[in-house]
Structure 1
Amino acid sequence: MPLLLQIFPSGCKTVPQLRICNQYYYTIHGQDTGGMYPNYHCKNLGACTVMLTGPSWIVYSMDGKGMHGLFPYQLTYGPFHPTLSDREQFPFLYQMAPEDTSLPLAMVSLILHFNWNWVGLTISDNDQGIQFLSYLRTEMEKNTLCFAFVNMIPLNIYLYMSRAEVYYNQILTSSSNVVIIYGETDSTLSVSFRIWTSRGMQRIWVTTSQFDVTTSKSDFLPELFHGTLAFAHHHAEISGFKNFFQSKNPLKYSDEYLARLEWMNFNCGVSAPMCNTLRNCSSNSSLEWLIAQTFDMAFSDGSYDIYNAVYTTAHAAHERLLQPMDNQEVHLGNCLKLYSILRKTHFTNPVGDRVTMNQKEKLQPEYDIFQIWNFPNGLGLKVKIGMFSPYFPHGQQLHLYEDILEWAAGSRQVDVDQCVRCLEDQYANAEQIHCTDKSVSFLTYEDPLGMALTLMALGFSAFTSVVLGVFIKHHDTPLVKANNRNLSYTLLVSLIFCFLCPLLFIGHPNAPKCILQQITFGVVFSVAVSTVLAKTVTVVLAFKLTIPGKRMRYNLIPRASNFIIVICTLIQIILCAIWLGVSPPFIEIDAKSEQSHIIIIYENRKEFLLWVKAYSEERGKREVHDTGL
């Protein structure tokens, strides 16, 4: 039943000046409503009416049957409808719900998480369903997902009945076990959903909070809906709502009609024999125990929209009352002013969410993901299993509580045909429910070995640098000159680079470092060794000059030492070039030695040595065989 909000500019003797009443029935039947508001004494000065309508009223609005003349300004709760956002056709109708632009992405993220690449889709054949299909198809094509089938359920009941069996067989014969349901709850789609489940069809249903079957009454069969996944708009819990509602007893209200209406909402008449769910209708009973029986205490999307609609109207009324008002102002102008304020209203509600009447300024909604569980004694409850936020980076938008997921028959295990082998750079977690990237392991400066090598390399190179500095400082002394000053400099510099070569083995491996590691050390070490050899040759030649009868020019000694260094270094460079051409080093990635780590190491090719060894072994076997003959 639609809810009517009426703002009284003045005349009420009680505060606040906002009343919420079930007046639609009386208005369209022309009945007097003067005595239906308890505890209020109001003068009949005319009311600025704001009509709050639900999903069932939307059908009449789109068909042109809405009461736009009687109630020009309407706030609607329930799912967003693209048709109702047309300002030309509905200039005074505003939807409290945001547009579900990120819902297709949320559903596709869930499908990708469980590796469901073959899913079915059933939607209402209207603008809302077609728009959702367009968004969902775009997201699925981006992620190479496919539809097993697409059922578009017509709104016309006669057209639907002629094709009902076709839609049923389409799902029954499909190999897909996952079906997305999106559309109206008060439509043929809801009828189809009930028929399919009542006939024992069990699938993994992925839907929205509109199909919240846990709030249904006697026709709810929880075993058929067990495992159903539902997306609902995320919002904070209303402070004090549960405590108020659990302690509420409708029979204690002075208005007998409201008491009857409240108990009938829970399948219970005023007289005890009419109770379908409650054992009795005691006047001392409360609604606290219903949280574990038939009623969901959590705020639904529709309830939250109503909550925001009431606050929106109250904010607009408060702002209008604060503005100066002429006593001669006519009622129509006063209401138009109120409507103008209401249209521009934006505020932050008590739970911290931003509320605005401008659809373009509304933020993309976040979604809570619920799973319906079947408890003993036919009790079905929805349990929050995760959340989706479009504001997180790609790949981190979906978060699921894997440890509480339950599928059919109470199993938390996925069928073996749904299991997928993890990639080489990934590993399965302990529960084996998803793949995690392996961490890369290599020798770093933070490791004990890497830190020790770094300290030793820097220490020895620093000590050698100090020695080199001493030689440079005293380069004119006879002692330094006697030790062949240039060769000493060359030896000390080459030793410094030799001590620094271990640093090439530390850090993230790459191709240049892989090639330079051994070549650099080989060439620099060859220079150091050849320098020592040159010094030795120099000493030998110097002593030979002092032997009588030896004829050798003194100026040949420096040249000989230089030639030794150059020739030895060239030989080492040629050997390194041959080695690079025949068996170059490479980076080896070991992803199998450890489960959760990828080990990156430098490796040398051994194919040539293996060929030589294999040839030698084969030749030896032949010689032994020939000897035996």
Structure 2
Amino acid sequence: MEFFMDGSSFTQSSDQQVGYAVITSETTVEAQLLPAWRLTDPACFIRMKPSVFKEGDLIIGGFFPLYTFITYDGSTKPSKEVYMKQFETKNYQYVLALTFAIEEINRNPHLLPNITLGFDLYNSLHSEQTTLENPIIWQSGLDKDLPNYTCRKETKSIAALTGTTWAVSAQIGTLLELYKIPQLAYGLYDPQLSDDGQFSSLYQITPKDTTLALGMVSLMLHFSWNWVGLVISEDKRGVNFLLDLREEMDKKGVCAGFLEMIPVTERSYYSKDWQYHLRIRKSTVNVTLIYGDSDSLMGLSFWRWRLLVIGKVCITTSQWDFTTSERDFLLDSFHGALIFSQNIGKLPDFKTFIQTVKPSKYPEDFYLTKLWYVSFDCSVSESDCNSLENCPPNASLELLPWWLFDKNMKEGSYNVYNAVYAVAQSLHEMLLQRIEMQSVENGDGLGVYPWQLHPFLKNIQFNNSAGDPVILDKERKFEARYDILNFWNFPEGFGHKVKVGHFNSDVPRDQQLSLSEEMIEWATGFSETPHSVCSKKCLPGFRKTFQEGKAACCFLCTSCPENEISNDTDMDECVKCADHQYANSERNQYLQKTATFLAYGDPLGMALVCTALCFSFLTTVILGVFLKHRDTPIVKANNRILSYILLISLTLCFLCSLLFTGCPNTAICILQQITFGIVFTVAVSTVLAKTITVVLAFKVTAPGRRMRQYLVSGAPNFVIPICSLIQMALCGIWLGTSPIFIDKDAHSEPGYIIIECNKGSATAFYCVLGCLGCLALGSFTVAFLARNLPDTFNEAKFLTFSMLVFCSVWVTFLPVYHSTKGKIMAAVEIFSILASSAGLLGCIFAPKCYIIFLNPDRNTHQGLRYQTHSRGNKSS
């Protein structure tokens, strides 16, 4: 189409039969309100009145958005600049729904008998300046807007149908509230219009739609879309919807890739709406949610989308009615859109009614004449626009393509139909009540005043001809149920909306959404169900790691830590395994741990057991050798009884290590430490007694001295029972205060639960070790001092070395024991027992066995005298 700023001419391509007019600031107000699509339109269109009136006993006013403005500068004041006025052919269905309902009521003998309804129809422009103009004209009864004046001879206006948008309903409602005229808003339900203090005379026909946000988010979750774009109209209703939507999205983990708030102003031919389109196209999201109404939003910023192929799935509502726009609109851009439409019943006679609608049948309706004029290329005379010429003989609304006129009843038209019936039912109830009270009519007519209708409208409740309930009381309003439609636009211009599912919030949560995915035609560029996520799913075994400064849906996938799993996708946190379980290598499944301990069958356990048995056998053999050679000097030297005791205690030391192998129980755990402590105390105290004996034997040589008496009487032997009693007392205190018990270590070895002995009190355990250490340190000190005493069989040196080995083993044991866990701890303790016992055995008895077996000449009295004489000569 071409426009000229001076208004001198206007042309339009033949395939875009939409009514437009270009008007300058000098154009009269009457001309601004008239329909025209070119400046060469017949003058009769300019001279027509601004309303369509149908006579009746009672009149219902109707205000419908049949025209919208498109300004060149984007302003909301069309009187100052050149602007266009577009005839919205798709909205003419409101008029047809009003006419259909009134004719149906007038034919019904059981509803308002002997009373006919008529209507007074006006255009309702989406403009703050012109919204109130036509309601004032309607009130005055003239063709001019004269507030607080009426020339109507009879009070025939009974109610008004107002507003597809909140702004229009609120503005008209504020005016009509002064006269207590019932207003029935047929647009979307809005909680702000339910304020009795501000709009006590306004009723909303539509059910509540507070669950629309829940339905849309449920649809996103069904397809696993968590990264979507939002395009919302920047008005009160859009902001409220956005709050509800974001709340539901936050609950369900859905994020907004972008948010565009589209200003709601009149249409601007030079509006800067390309910035919205570019941001949407460049976004990484594949799903865009659009919320608004077609009268204020679509024409403002989205009419150019017919030139784009955005390749995104759109989720929207039927109020954003893009499917009835220009012919090529949305050929590619919105194919596959998913539309939430209020579930409405089927009116069986409405399509038949549309087939019969012609200008000749309704000559007073110049909007219908205009529709015929622009749709079928008719011609009219300059004097009478009611007489159309050169029209196709079979012209009918049924023949119009969908982008000019939708034959299927829309939600708004359905609400208009219900609103008319609500008024009629209320009037019927009121008149029946009058008859019952035998009320007498006045002489001027029915005597029905608009304000008298309120008590009946508030309580009205009925089912329409489609079986749907109609309730005006806001306290009893029910939630809307939605059909989910899929828009098919292939082949070119097909424009078919197919029902693919529904959403009902009144049923259990898992049954609210129902979809037939096989029926869905996806948007251009998608051969299968599209994906719209910021980050790919985290598979089992991984958890989401959120990135600072980014949306919650944009995350990294991090492997679960050791001994933690995630067995589902997109888990925020990994779950720690129970003590009796462990994580598999993929970190996605629990495995049961196996109970383990240092068993006899383990290679390590078997090696330690064999070593212990070998050493114990060797010690027993040495004891047998000493018993066999008990009368030899080397056995008699240093108290052979102490040697026997030491060998027996060493044998028990080797055998006590066997208590640390195998599955422990409470008795075994107690025997482990008590036996270890007492047996080793006997062994070390025996070494101390032997050391003291050596010192007394070589240091106390004068006869009759008291020290000699101690040696002869065997006093050093009392060290053994004294030290053993002290150790037994420590063990008794240990068992009495904090006894040893069975414990399970589930953390030292992955996949295993180690059954071990818990020492109960670490202090008591170290006291037992400390006692042994003191004995060993005392023995080492005494032996070290006596290491150079002269004698053939002096074992002071060997005792010194044995205590050095013993102390070295147990000093090394402490840090190693604390650095290991599980059954290795038991192995370390067994090794220390064996090593220290073997050290005592080897250092003390190996030299003596060498003499007994390999050098028997030294184990005689002659050898003893010879060696003593030789040492004496060397010393001299």
TM-score bracket, normalised by the shorter chain, equals 0.5 to 0.7
Q: How does 1:424-439 map to 2 (within 5 A)?
A: none
TM-superposed deviation, 1:92 = 0.8
* CA distance 1:142–1:159, shift in 2 (3 Å): farther
**Aligned pair partner of 1:386 in 472, 479, 501:** 501
Residue 441 of structure 2 is matched in structure 1 by 327
* CA distance 1:269–1:57, shift in 2 (3 Å): farther
**Aligned pair partner of 2:120 in 12, 17, 21:** 21
**Following the alignment from structure 2 to structure 1, what is the Cα–Cα distance between the partners of residues 113 and 506?**
45
- 1:293–1:379 Cα contact (<8 Å) kept: no
* CA distance 1:165–1:259, shift in 2 (3 Å): closer
**Following the alignment from structure 1 to structure 2, what is the Cα–Cα distance between the partners of residues 152 and 259?**
34
Residue 285 of structure 1 is matched in structure 2 by 395
TM-superposed deviation, 1:74 = 0.8
* CA distance 1:243–1:83, shift in 2 (3 Å): same
TM-superposed deviation, 1:333 = 7.2
Residue 405 of structure 1 is matched in structure 2 by 520
Deviations 1:475-499 (A, max 9, x none): xxxxxxxxxxxxxxxxxxxxxxxxx
Residue 216 of structure 2 is matched in structure 1 by 107
- 2:227–2:254 Cα contact (<8 Å) kept: yes
* CA distance 1:375–1:66, shift in 2 (3 Å): farther
**Following the alignment from structure 1 to structure 2, what is the Cα–Cα distance between the partners of residues 180 and 296?**
23
**Aligned pair partner of 2:229 in 112, 115, 120:** 120
* CA distance 1:268–1:319, shift in 2 (3 Å): same
TM-superposed deviation, 1:251 = 3.7
The letter of the residue matching 2:363 is: D
Residue 236 of structure 1 is matched in structure 2 by 345
**Following the alignment from structure 2 to structure 1, what is the Cα–Cα distance between the partners of residues 396 and 167?**
34
- Tell me how many residue pairs correspond in the alignment: 410
Deviations 1:256-294 (A, max 9, x none): 645843634973453299xxxxx9732433333347775
**Following the alignment from structure 2 to structure 1, what is the Cα–Cα distance between the partners of residues 161 and 226?**
41
**Aligned pair partner of 1:147 in 256, 266, 271:** 256
Deviations 1:90-133 (A, max 9, x none): 11111111221111111011111111110011212222112111
Residue 571 of structure 1 is matched in structure 2 by none
Structure 1 range deviating more: 130-139 or 310-319? 130-139
Q: How does 1:33-182 map to 2 (within 5 A)?
A: 45-55=154-164, 58-59=167-168, 61-62=170-171, 66-69=175-178, 72-156=181-265, 164=273, 166-182=275-291
Q: How does 1:526-541 map to 2 (within 5 A)?
A: none
* CA distance 1:412–1:259, shift in 2 (3 Å): same
* CA distance 1:283–1:161, shift in 2 (3 Å): closer
* CA distance 1:358–1:164, shift in 2 (3 Å): same
* CA distance 1:108–1:229, shift in 2 (3 Å): same
Structure 1 range deviating more: 112-121 or 208-217? 208-217
Q: How does 1:460-609 map to 2 (within 5 A)?
A: none
**Following the alignment from structure 1 to structure 2, what is the Cα–Cα distance between the partners of residues 77 and 2?**
19
**Following the alignment from structure 2 to structure 1, what is the Cα–Cα distance between the partners of residues 58 and 529?**
61
* CA distance 1:257–1:391, shift in 2 (3 Å): closer
TM-superposed deviation, 1:350 = 1.5
- 1:153–1:189 Cα contact (<8 Å) kept: no
**Aligned pair partner of 2:426 in 271, 293, 316:** 316
SS of residue in 2 equivalent to 1:153: strand
The letter of the residue matching 1:139 is: E
* CA distance 1:266–1:352, shift in 2 (3 Å): farther
**Following the alignment from structure 2 to structure 1, what is the Cα–Cα distance between the partners of residues 172 and 453?**
27
**Following the alignment from structure 1 to structure 2, what is the Cα–Cα distance between the partners of residues 181 and 91?**
32
Deviations 1:196-236 (A, max 9, x none): 45444342111100112222244634222211111011122
**Following the alignment from structure 1 to structure 2, what is the Cα–Cα distance between the partners of residues 321 and 259?**
34
Unaligned runs of 5+ in 2: 1-49, 60-105, 107-111, 124-133, 144-151, 382-388, 541-876
* CA distance 1:300–1:162, shift in 2 (3 Å): closer
SS of residue in 2 equivalent to 1:361: coil
Q: Does 1:343 align with 2:458?
A: yes
SS of residue in 2 equivalent to 1:298: coil
The letter of the residue matching 2:161 is: L
Deviations 1:508-546 (A, max 9, x none): xxxxxxxxxxxxxxxxxxxxxxxxxxxxxxxxxxxxxxx
Deviations 1:394-446 (A, max 9, x none): 2222111212211134855235888999999xxxxxxxxxxxxxxxxxxxxxx
**Following the alignment from structure 2 to structure 1, what is the Cα–Cα distance between the partners of residues 488 and 378?**
31
**Following the alignment from structure 1 to structure 2, what is the Cα–Cα distance between the partners of residues 360 and 265?**
46
- 1:105–1:139 Cα contact (<8 Å) kept: yes
**Aligned pair partner of 2:323 in 203, 214, 228:** 214
TM-superposed deviation, 1:302 = 0.2
**Following the alignment from structure 1 to structure 2, what is the Cα–Cα distance between the partners of residues 57 and 192?**
20
The letter of the residue matching 2:432 is: L
Residue 261 of structure 1 is matched in structure 2 by 369
Task: Report the TM-score, using the length of structure 2 for normalisation.
Answer: 0.42
TM-superposed deviation, 1:172 = 2.8
- 1:125–1:152 Cα contact (<8 Å) kept: yes
* CA distance 1:4–1:66, shift in 2 (3 Å): farther
Unaligned runs of 5+ in 1: 34-42, 274-278, 425-629
SS of residue in 1 equivalent to 2:484: strand
TM-superposed deviation, 1:297 = 2.3
* CA distance 1:345–1:60, shift in 2 (3 Å): closer
Structure 1 range deviating more: 198-207 or 72-81? 198-207
RMSD of Structure 2 on Structure 1 (CA): 4.2
* CA distance 1:240–1:420, shift in 2 (3 Å): farther
**Following the alignment from structure 2 to structure 1, what is the Cα–Cα distance between the partners of residues 527 and 466?**
35
TM-superposed deviation, 1:178 = 1.0
SS of residue in 2 equivalent to 1:323: helix
- 1:102–1:364 Cα contact (<8 Å) kept: yes
* CA distance 1:412–1:393, shift in 2 (3 Å): farther
Structure 1 range deviating more: 382-391 or 78-87? 78-87
TM-superposed deviation, 1:238 = 0.9
* CA distance 1:9–1:389, shift in 2 (3 Å): closer
- 1:120–1:150 Cα contact (<8 Å) kept: yes
Structure 1 range deviating more: 215-224 or 140-149? 215-224
**Following the alignment from structure 1 to structure 2, what is the Cα–Cα distance between the partners of residues 65 and 327?**
31
- 1:151–1:167 Cα contact (<8 Å) kept: yes
TM-superposed deviation, 1:356 = 0.9
**Following the alignment from structure 1 to structure 2, what is the Cα–Cα distance between the partners of residues 297 and 222?**
20
- 1:348–1:355 Cα contact (<8 Å) kept: yes
**Following the alignment from structure 2 to structure 1, what is the Cα–Cα distance between the partners of residues 367 and 168?**
30
**Following the alignment from structure 1 to structure 2, what is the Cα–Cα distance between the partners of residues 417 and 18?**
53
**Following the alignment from structure 1 to structure 2, what is the Cα–Cα distance between the partners of residues 158 and 307?**
29
Task: Report the TM-score, using the length of structure 1 for normalisation.
Answer: 0.57
TM-superposed deviation, 1:296 = 2.5
TM-superposed deviation, 1:80 = 1.9
Residue 545 of structure 1 is matched in structure 2 by none
Structure 1 range deviating more: 325-334 or 145-154? 325-334
The letter of the residue matching 1:396 is: Q
**Following the alignment from structure 1 to structure 2, what is the Cα–Cα distance between the partners of residues 385 and 136?**
22
Residue 41 of structure 2 is matched in structure 1 by none
Residue 248 of structure 1 is matched in structure 2 by 356
Deviations 1:587-610 (A, max 9, x none): xxxxxxxxxxxxxxxxxxxxxxxx
TM-superposed deviation, 1:391 = 2.3
